[in-house]
Amino acid sequence: MKAWQVTTGGVCGLVLTIGLARFAYTPLLPSLQTQTGLTDAGAGTLAAINYAGYMSGALAAAWIDDVRWRHRLYSSGLWMALLTTAAMALSTWMPAWALWRYIGGLCGATGMLLGSGLVLGWLMRHGHRPELGLHFLGIGLGIVVSALGAWGLAQVWPEWWRQWLAFAVLGVVFFVPAWMWRPPVPPAVAPAQADHAAHTVSRRWLWTMLGSYFAAGWGFVISATFTVAMVEREPALAGQGPWAWALVGVAAMPAVFVWDRVARRIGDTRALLLAMGLQTVSVVLPALSGSLAAAMAGAVGYGATFIGIVSLTLALVGRRSPHNPGKAMARLTLSYGAAQMIAPVVAGVMAQNTGTFRGALWLTAGVMAAGMALLATLPDEG
């Protein structure tokens, strides 16, 4: 198998397991709320349940050593991403939605952690540059597909349930290459090699990165869940929500290459600090102004930075554990997932009580600033 096939398969896997199984919820949320009566608190709860599934998947990935099982679970996640997307259309019963969002979160973990680990491991074994920027193009592409798909489907089928079914059908387009070009099952690792790899990460480094990545997860999920809803709430911006979400994806796609180059030039830690600082600014902009310019600038800034934070962090920890990068990524991602469970519930309740998302945005900026302060205590790594 060639590098372009492995990379393309990984990109399509991310579009399917993250872009559709997770991100379709964001542009479809206004329709769900308008047509089914889903409240802000309910929307936040569903997002939190989705990330509970993601965190459960991360927990499993953090403890699975058998490479054959990691490969099988990734393959299962591709199938389940299609099924759970379609299942969202079958009922308006909140417990059923909660179940599908939970399983969708599990699918996201298989694509983001197991799939990325398999791709990075394959690249390192075959002498390619151990970077994930190109692979994470799939996240930005998934956002664009979900945003433009939601806008286009709303013109043809305004009913929310038809839109979910149509997204499931669209997912087949990405399922085929993702399935055909899955990275092959990697060779088994001897226990002595695994023990050596486990000691390449110091306890202080790990706990510092866990705290910093928690803050990054908080910043990520607030915008990932509520960007479209926040735009639609502004009277002058009604109807512009899907375009703001599309801008997130458009900004994310070239950013995956840019952040790899920035890290090569100034070092990984400094690049991470820069990305988190810019993301904090992008979170604050919509809180300062309800204008279209602020909304769009915030969307572009968010799209251009969250992908860099994820790519740089996971590649960094993966390189430190070359024999099982997916397992190392999963352990770090537990803190990211914890933030993604907590933040949407807090933001949803704050928005419901105040009628605005501004307070939640300021809280998010404060969490991000704390994460940057923690990350700044680490020595730079290039």
pLDDT at 251 over 60: yes
Higher pLDDT, 39 or 334: 39
pLDDT at 195 over 50: no
Question: Model confidence at 117, in pLDDT bands (50, 70, 90)?
Answer: confident
Q: Mind listing the pLDDT tens digit for each residue in 261-315?
A: 898 898 888 999 999 999 999 888 888 877 777 878 888 888 889 888 988 888 7
Higher pLDDT, 224 or 348: 348
> Exposed e or buried b for every residue in 251-270, given b needs 16+ CB within 10 A?
bbbebbbebbebbeeeebbb
- Average pLDDT of the segment spanning 217-238: 71
Structural domains of the chain in order of their starting residue, each with its CATH number? 3-181+191-375 (1.20.1250.20)
Higher pLDDT, 108 or 334: 108
pLDDT at 177 over 90: yes
Q: What is the pLDDT of residue 336?
A: 81
pLDDT at 370 over 90: yes
Q: Mind listing the pLDDT tens digit for each residue in 53-75?
A: 888 888 887 778 788 888 899 99
- Average pLDDT of the segment spanning 361-369: 91
- Percent of the chain topping pLDDT 70: 87
Higher pLDDT, 178 or 62: 178
Q: What is the pLDDT of residue 197?
A: 45
Question: Model confidence at 354, in pLDDT bands (50, 70, 90)?
Answer: confident
pLDDT at 346 over 90: no
Q: What is the pLDDT of residue 342?
A: 85
Q: What is the pLDDT of residue 225?
A: 65
Q: What is the pLDDT of residue 120?
A: 80
pLDDT at 168 over 90: yes
Q: What is the pLDDT of residue 198?
A: 46
